[in-house]
Chain A
Amino acid sequence: MQDKKVLNNLLGVLPNDDVLAQCIHCGMCLAACPTYDLTMNERSSPRGRIKMIKSVARGEMAISDVFADEMDFCLDCQACETACPAGVKYGSMVEAARVEIAHAGYTTWWGKIIKVVSLNYLLRYKSALKVAAKLLYFYQNSGIQKLLHGSGLFKLLMPKMAEIDKLSPRVSKKFSEKLIPVNSLPKNEIKFKTAFLTGCVMDVAFAEINKDTVDVLTLMGSSVFTPRKQECCGSIHAHNGDMVTAKTLAKINIDAFEKEEYDVLVANSAGCGAFMKEYGHVLADDKNYAEKAKKFSSKVKDLSEFVFENLDQVKFKQLKETLTYHDACHLAHTQRITQEPRAILNAIPGLTNVPLNDPTRCCGSAGVYNIMRYDDSMAILKKKMDNIKATETPTVLASNPGCILQLQYGTEKFDVPVKVLHPATILKKALE
């Protein structure tokens, strides 16, 4: 009874049955999957999950606890898509399955609360996010947080919450809009016209990185348009199956950025860049926005893409730094950008980039995964921190706020004394 509906729903979300049929279960994805690596159990592998989704979609199996848990266990890092020679669109299948699992009522109450609060309020309205961030800033800086942790009260009452509390971003003193004007101009002639998305987490937790990014752009001779009315890009909503909100946010951003002329829309957060590149597909059926969205998406570039394309026009100064580079999943697997950031780092004289073992393996951050599945996330992070430690470098670079937060947390938890920076910060140093 439920199966029939599930089948129809699943097929409704998925492009078509061919998507399900395309996996030939050859197993080439197993080596790339962080969760299979943890359990060595086939059902925690992309091939196993696809088999289960197929069975549910064809009405041979009902949605169950095990099924729901496996879909939730997946990080949606999409490393398997990079590894898959057959080009199976695994991400879209898991996202569709998650929507059905939510419909079938398998989400926990606290999971629901976290999702409702974050998706429907914090990430939906930037005004709400800023209020929350200010409250968090007060909590973090007034001494309350210190008191709770220092006195051991937190650990005593809610040991897991005490750990998760440390995972929440440290709120910047000033948000992006205080640091970045609507129009930033280079010192000399305007060589490029860019626009910049401040993001949501980046905006309130890493405003300095946003400032560094805009500085990199102006130092390269670019004007930078940073509209005030921009919202969250909508990627987190889309990954959690809320396409309605994702589309609304996409439209708001398209309108906000339409106000001025620019050639490239720069994103410094891998997740945002990846999703804005998809606006064209997301809004393809919207008769008012289809064309606009396509044009918008065609202009989106990650900071590393933009710098790499104009590398011949950039003059870096000597920078005595030794560091290593971690690939954010949304950059390496979703946008397939791995060579550009490395080429840029190689072009900086004096800088040594020590290769990281298994650099494109997920760090376990994955949106709110590290909060929802703390223990799994930490097991995955442990491997990443071990690899970082082995490079013996003082700094690791990552171009996604989720990764930066997670790695920063990892430095403390696993006692790996490295600084976690965004590439923009290093680039700015090399350009000044």
Chain B
Amino acid sequence: MENAVKEKIKSIVGVKNYLDSYEDRLCYSYDGTPLFEQLPEAVVFPDNEEQISKLLKLANEVPFNIVPRGAGTGLSGGSIPVPNSLVIVMTKWNKLLELDTHNLTATVQPGLITADFQREVEKAGLFYPPDPGSMTVCTLGGNVANNAGGLRGLKYGVTKNYVLGTEMILPNGELLKTGGKNVKDVAGYNLRDFIIGSEGTLGIITKIIFKLIPAPTTTITMLAYFDRLIDSAQSVSDIIAAHITPSMMEFLDNITINCVEDYTHIGLPRNSEAVLLIEVDGRGSSVIEDAELVNNILKKNNASFVRKADNTAEALKLKTARRAAFSALARKSPTTILEDATVPRSELPIMMEVVKQAASKYNLMFGNFGHAGDGNLHPTCLTDERNKSEIENAHRAFDFIFNEAIKLGGTITGEHGTGLSKKHFLEKLAGIPGVDMMKKIKCVIDENNILNPGKIFTIGPRCEGTLPRTREQIKEIVNL
């Protein structure tokens, strides 16, 4: 990027909001995704919508690329810079603008941290359920851009189920407003839901209106220990079949149990093959009945022990421990490649077997945990990026896992997004017409392909037919 361009950027956002030292570029060259990094040309913290709009217009003019970023905890590389890019960081936009207790909505800036938002909402007796593992750090804007899930997805759904409206700056610099506080709204195309999960490729989110729900009054949290993996998977199927919907049903395998216990020291069973963390919530006695039914199912499926949290503090400890699972696995090895292949939940036991096969076939160590209740597993390859051949094997293992997941009617990513790390698998899942449609939409909205380009898919000419092999064939094509 030329200095003159940098000066222009600086004049738009002001000197105090502009960084381009090597150290700063280095510190914005990564997010939570392993194996990817790229230095940006500069980093800015815009103060208002107008500045963002001007930056986007300038990017089209020059051109250069723009990569929006929240807290940088993403796991698919969505906020990793691309070549010749400016990073726009939204973390300072962290205000709760309005809590409307009559309509049960909240209007927020995109940089507000998810857990901080939940704390404020809960003070008013309300509830915002989406709770990704990084909720103490990640931003709501990032949650919307990736349609983040979390532990409570099983009963309460994911981020998209709570977004009522958005405001975003489009790649041409215009402000787009979608949705609003209305519960029902069918005017025109549903652009709001289209923006959710767009991973910063269609615009930069500047405001979000969320739906809130009344907080549950009773919550029972329990932890079931299993000596056999298959028993835990069967318990999950049986609970669903019994028409009980816990707010969470989380699974941890033995390796994960031990790593998490090393971190938390809360007395997890180091010798168990698996544990299930189950929470049922709601109002009044039905919660107690559900907990009793769940307990019976767990016992019937050979749970060796069911530990019930005595109080909210203990329940919180158990949930915090589960949320730390991904990072805690780094105790075993310096590189942890986490994926989130998801299958219809009836296929969960088969999927667990697939992960096992992948591990033995490619001679790798896997820690496995995840949202068992919604079929969203997080098989995590424990490896070391300094060991090139092992990393190659890891990629082969994930190819295998993704292919098997697709065969089972599953998907390549349940909640982390496609980003950089899974774009090569997208066509297998969405099909050629699906990906083509996505690309066409992107081209219309972002004509010059300047906003987070190369994420989700790569825009480029498609090769069709057989490749030319002989000199004559090539000549023929050149002459066309």
Real binding pair = yes
Query: What is A's interface to B at a CB cutoff of 8 Å?
Result: 18, 21-28, 30-31, 40-43, 45, 48, 51-52, 55, 61, 64, 66-67, 70, 84-88
Among the listed A18, A61, A88, which residue makes an inter-chain contact with B26, where contact means beta carbons less than 8 Å apart?
A61
Query: What is B's interface to A at a CB cutoff of 8 Å?
Result: 19, 21-24, 26-32, 34, 45, 71-73, 91-92, 113, 115, 134, 136-138, 260, 262-263, 324-331, 334-336, 384-386
Residue of A nearest to B135 (CB): A31
How distant is B265 from chain A, measured CB to nearest CB, in Å? 9
Taken together as a complex, chains A and B put the C-alpha atoms of A25 and B134 apart, in Å, by 12
Complex contact B23–A85 (CB within 8 A): no
**Residue of B23, B45, B73 with most partner-chain A CB within 10 A:** B23
Extra pairs beyond A27-B137, A40-B91 (15, CB < 8 Å): A21-B385, A24-B336, A25-B30, A26-B327, A27-B31, A27-B32, A27-B71, A27-B73, A41-B19, A43-B26, A55-B26, A64-B22, A85-B328, A86-B327, A88-B330
A21 surroundings in chain B (CB, below 8 A): 334-335, 384-386
Complex contact B30–A51 (CB within 8 A): yes
How distant is A243 from chain B, measured CB to nearest CB, in Å? 26
How distant is A50 from chain B, measured CB to nearest CB, in Å? 10
Taken together as a complex, chains A and B put the C-alpha atoms of A20 and B451 apart, in Å, by 33
Among the listed B27, B327, B328, B386, which residue makes an inter-chain contact with A43, where contact means beta carbons less than 8 Å apart?
B27
Q: Offer 25 A-B interface pairs, CB within 8 angstroms, sorted by A.
A: A21-B385, A24-B32, A24-B327, A24-B334, A25-B31, A26-B32, A27-B72, A27-B73, A27-B134, A27-B138, A28-B134, A40-B92, A42-B24, A42-B27, A43-B23, A48-B27, A51-B27, A64-B23, A66-B21, A67-B23, A84-B327, A85-B328, A85-B330, A87-B262, A88-B330
Residue of B nearest to A17 (CB): B386
Complex contact B334–A18 (CB within 8 A): yes
A88 surroundings in chain B (CB, below 8 A): 330
A87 surroundings in chain B (CB, below 8 A): 262-263, 328, 330-331
Q: A21-B384, A31-B136 are in contact. Are A86 and B30 (CB under 8 A)?
A: no
Taken together as a complex, chains A and B put the C-alpha atoms of A52 and B26 apart, in Å, by 7
Among the listed A23, A25, A40, A66, which residue makes an inter-chain contact with B23, where contact means beta carbons less than 8 Å apart?
A66
Q: A27-B72, A30-B71, A31-B137 are in contact. Are A86 and B330 (CB under 8 A)?
A: yes
How distant is B256 from chain A, measured CB to nearest CB, in Å? 11
Complex contact A25–B32 (CB within 8 A): yes
Taken together as a complex, chains A and B put the C-alpha atoms of A24 and B385 apart, in Å, by 11
B328 surroundings in chain A (CB, below 8 A): 85-87
Q: A22-B334, A42-B28 are in contact. Are A28 and B71 (CB under 8 A)?
A: no
A24 surroundings in chain B (CB, below 8 A): 32, 34, 327, 330, 334-336
Complex contact A85–B31 (CB within 8 A): no
B26 surroundings in chain A (CB, below 8 A): 43, 51-52, 55, 61
How distant is B135 from chain A, measured CB to nearest CB, in Å? 10
Closest 5 pairs between A and B when the two form their complex, measured CB to CB: A86-B330, A85-B327, A21-B334, A85-B324, A48-B27
B22 surroundings in chain A (CB, below 8 A): 61, 64
Complex contact B30–A26 (CB within 8 A): no
How distant is B341 from chain A, measured CB to nearest CB, in Å? 20
How distant is B92 from chain A, measured CB to nearest CB, in Å? 6
**Residue of A64, A66, A86 with most partner-chain B CB within 10 A:** A86
